[in-house]
Amino acid sequence: MEPMEARYDVVWPRSPRGVQQRQSADRLDTLAGKRVAFLWDYLFRGDELFPVLADQLTERFEGVEIVDYAEFGNLHGADEKQRVGRLPDELRSRHVDAVVSGMGC
Amino acid sequence: MRASIAAESAGIPSVSIVCNGFAGQAGATARGLGHDGLPLAVTIGHVDTQSAEEMTANFIDSTVDQIIEGLVGDGPLADADNAEPAALDIVASGTIDEINDHFSSKGWSDGNPIIPPTHDRVERYLDGSGHDPWKTLGVAPSSGRDFTIWSIAVNAVMAGCRPEHLPVLIALTEILADPAYGSEHSGNTTGADGLILLDGPNASALGFNSGPGVQREGVHANTSVGRWLRLYLRNVAGFTAEEHDKATFGNPARPVLAEDHECLRTIGWPSIGEQLGFASSHDVVTLARMNSGLLIGSVFGSTPEQIVPYLANGLARVSAWDLTHVHGIGTDQYQPLLVVSPLLARTFANAGWSLNDVQQALFNQARITARAFERFIGDWTNLSAGHPQLTDLVAEGALPPVFAQSDDPDRMVPITTRPERLLIAVTGDPNRANAYTFSNDGPHGWWTAKRIDHTPASDLVCNVSGRQ
C-alpha cells in the first residue's frame, strides 16, 4: 500500500482592497451649452484626435465650449502626480462641466 | 484614468479614450482607484498603426459616440460581485500537485511550483519578526489592495524565501508603495521588469551572491527574493494578463543583483544605495524597472582611457526608445545602469579614478547623433508631442545646452542630461573583464531605494487566528 500523500490547506495569496468604491459624478442631460475640457497625456496622437473631437462635438451640440488640453499641460511624466492633484481645482476654476481624457494605449 | 478620476472626484463627469488593447487595464485601474465601471471610449485598433485618414474615420464612426454616451445619460454601473476570500480563509485543500494546479488555474502562480502557503507555515515565517501581520505598508495604486505584512509573508512562503529575508521584502514593499517609484506602471506594454539591487554590511551574511553568475538562478537568496517580487506584483498589485499586465513580451523574474560590498569598500566607490543618498553603514535595497540589457563582453585594456570608449559605446547602444525618458514620456528620467565586474572597477580605481570620474568620462563619450536622438523621441515612436528638435527643447529650457551646441543634425549629443544620471554598480565574477548595461523605464518604476531594517518590530504580535 502506498503511503498517504501529504495534503495542504492553503490561504489566499492576495489581500483585501483597502480602497473603497466611490460614487461617480452625475452625468449630464446634454452637452449643448456645456464646457467640455480635454485632458491629454501628450501621447498616442491626441494632438490629431482631439481637434476631430472638438469639431464633432461642436457640430452635434449647440453652444458647446471646448477647453483645450494645452490649458492643463502634459498630464504624464515626472510631475504627473502634482498636475493631476491640481486638476479638481483647475477644472472648477474654469467652470468645466465634463471631461474627456486620453490617450491610453 | 487618473485624470478622469480627478475630475470625477470634483463632481465632473468624465470619459477616458483608450485603445482597445488597453481597455481591460483601464477598467482594472479604475476599480483599483475606487471608481469601478468608469466610462471608456475605445478606439478601433491601436492608433499608432493607422494612417491619419483611417484613424480619423474609425474615431468618428465608433469612438465619438462612446464619448458622448459616457458623459450624458445614466451613470456608470459598478460590478456588484465583489465577494473575495478573507486573509485567513482556506481557499484550497489538496496534495502539492493539486495545490499547484489550483494556484496556476487561478493566476496566483508564476508557473513554477510553489510552496503551499498553509496558515501554520505563514505564521511560522513571521514568528520572531515582531510584525503585526495586519499592518499595512500602503495600498497598491494599481489594484487598490493593501500591502499587508501577512500578504508579504504568504507570497514569501510560496517563493521559498527564508524568514531572515523578510526585512528585504518589507523594504521592497515600501518601494512599491512609494509614489516616486510608480508601481502602477508595472504592466505597461513595453514590458520592463524590476531589477533589485542590494548592498550593505549584512548582504553577504544574508546569503546573497555578489560573485560569479550573480544574475543566474542557483543561489537561494538572490533567486527566491527575485521570484517573490514577481509573485507579489502578480497577486497583490494585480499584474496579471487579466488585470493590469499588458506587457507585449516581458522578462523572466530577475535574481537580485547584489553588489560586491568588499570590492566597493576597498576601492572607495559608493554603492547604488549610496549614489541614491544612503549611508555606507546601512543595508539598502534598490528597485528600478529595466527595458533592455546589453552585454559589453571581453573588455580589453589596462587603463581607463582604453576601457571607457567600449563601455560608453555599450551605454549608447542600449539607449534607444528609452530616450523618451530624457524627454517625452519621462522628464529627465533616463538613468541607465552600467554594471562592471570588480576587475574592471579595480582597473579604474588603481589609476586613481573615482566613480564620479568614470561617470564624467562616460557622459562625454556615450553619445549619439542629434538626428538619431530626435528619431527615437519623435519620428519613430511618436511619444514626444510635435516631434521636437533638440535645439527647440534647449531653447525652451527643457534640456541643458549640451544638446544644442550647434544645429548640425550629425553633432554628437549625450544620452542623459548629466553625468550623475549614469549609475554604476560593481558585481559579478571578480576575475573577469565584462560589463553589462541596462536601460531604465523612466517614471515607470523609477530608481527608488529603501533601508533594510533588521531590527525586530515592536508591533503587537497578536493571535493571528483571533483576527480572522
Q: What is the pLDDT of residues A8-53, one digit of tens each?
A: 999 999 999 888 888 889 999 999 999 999 999 888 889 899 999 9
Pick the residue from chain B with its C-alpha nearest to A5. B95
CB contact under 8 A, B91 and A11: yes
Residue B267 lies in a domain: no
B457 Cβ contact list (under 8 Å, min separation 6): B129, B130, B131, B132
Name the residue among A11, A46, A53 with its Cβ closest to that of B89. Answer: A11
Place B225 in a pLDDT band, splitting at 50, 70 and 90: very high
pLDDT at B344: 98
pLDDT at A1: 63
Residue B309 vs residues B323, B364, B365: alpha-carbon distances, Å: 20, 10, 7
pLDDT at B21: 80
CB contact under 8 A, B33 and A9: no
Place A80 in a pLDDT band, splitting at 50, 70 and 90: confident
How close does chain B come to A25, measured CA to CA in Å?
5
Beta-strand ranges (E) seen in chain A are: 8-11, 35-40, 65-67, 98-104
b/e sequence B314-336, b meaning 16+ C-beta within 10 Å: bbbbbbbbbbbbbbbbbbbbbbb
Residue B34 in this model has a pLDDT that exceeds 90: no
pLDDT at B143: 93
Interface predicted TM-score (ipTM): 0.88
Return the minimum-mean-pLDDT range out of A67-71, A78-82, B194-198, B309-313: A78-82
Residue A62 in this model has a pLDDT that exceeds 80: yes
pLDDT at B468: 40
Contact B335, B468 (CB under 8 A): no
Residue B286 vs residues A39, B140, B172: alpha-carbon distances, Å: 34, 18, 8
Q: Which residue would you say has higher pLDDT here, B357 or A74?
A: B357
Contact B437, B338 (CB under 8 A): yes
Average pLDDT rounded to a whole number, residues B269-282: 96
Q: Which residue would you say has higher pLDDT here, B353 or A70?
A: B353
Interface test with A, best of B17, B95, B145 (most A CBs within 10 A): B17
pLDDT at B385: 73
How close does chain B come to A37, measured CA to CA in Å?
9
Which DSSP helix (H) or strand (E) runs through B358? helix B355-365
pLDDT at B92: 96
Average pLDDT rounded to a whole number, residues B51-64: 91
pTM of the model: 0.88
Residue B295 lies in a domain: no
Return the minimum-mean-pLDDT range out of A6-20, B17-31, B232-246: B17-31
Contact A41, A70 (CB under 8 A): no
pLDDT at B77: 63
pLDDT at B460: 61
Alpha-helix residue ranges (DSSP H) falling in B80-219: 96-106, 119-126, 149-159, 166-177
Q: How many domains does chain B have?
A: 1
Residue B254 lies in a domain: no
Percent of chain A with pLDDT over 70: 96
Residue B162 lies in a domain: no
Contact B446, B181 (CB under 8 A): yes
Place A78 in a pLDDT band, splitting at 50, 70 and 90: low
Interface test with B, best of A2, A4, A7, A10 (most B CBs within 10 A): A10
pLDDT at B24: 80
CB contact under 8 A, B56 and A8: no
Residue B356 in this model has a pLDDT that exceeds 90: yes
Residue B15 lies in a domain: yes
Percent of chain B with pLDDT over 70: 96
Residue B32 in this model has a pLDDT that exceeds 90: no
pLDDT at B78: 58
pLDDT at A44: 87
pLDDT at B386: 76
Tell me, yes or no, if A51 comes closer than 8 A to chain B by beta carbon. no
Return the minimum-mean-pLDDT range out of B11-20, B256-265, B349-358, B363-372: B11-20
The chain-wide mean pLDDT, for chain B, equals 93
Percent of chain B with pLDDT over 90: 82
Residue B318 lies in a domain: no
Tell me, yes or no, if B2 comes closer than 8 A to chain A by beta carbon. yes
Percent of chain A with pLDDT over 90: 62
Residue B110 in this model has a pLDDT that exceeds 50: yes
In chain B, which residues have their Cβ closer than 8 Å to the Cβ of A76? Answer: 329
CB pairs A-B closer than 8 Å: 267
A17-31, B65-79, B368-382: which has the highest mean pLDDT? B368-382
Instruction: Give the 3-state secondary structure of residue B229.
Output: helix
Average pLDDT rounded to a whole number, residues B138-154: 96
Residue B28 lies in a domain: yes
In chain B, which residues have their Cβ closer than 8 Å to the Cβ of A32? Answer: none
Residue B297 in this model has a pLDDT that exceeds 80: yes
Average pLDDT rounded to a whole number, residues B329-333: 91
Contact B330, B324 (CB under 8 A): yes
Residue B8 in this model has a pLDDT that exceeds 60: yes
Which DSSP helix (H) or strand (E) runs through B436? strand B435-440
In chain B, which residues have their Cβ closer than 8 Å to the Cβ of A16? Answer: 84, 86-87, 145-146
Contact B39, B69 (CB under 8 A): yes
Host domain of residue B62 = 2-71
CB contact under 8 A, B179 and A81: yes
Residue B195 lies in a domain: no
Average pLDDT rounded to a whole number, residues A68-94: 86
pLDDT at A79: 74
Contact B47, B55 (CB under 8 A): yes
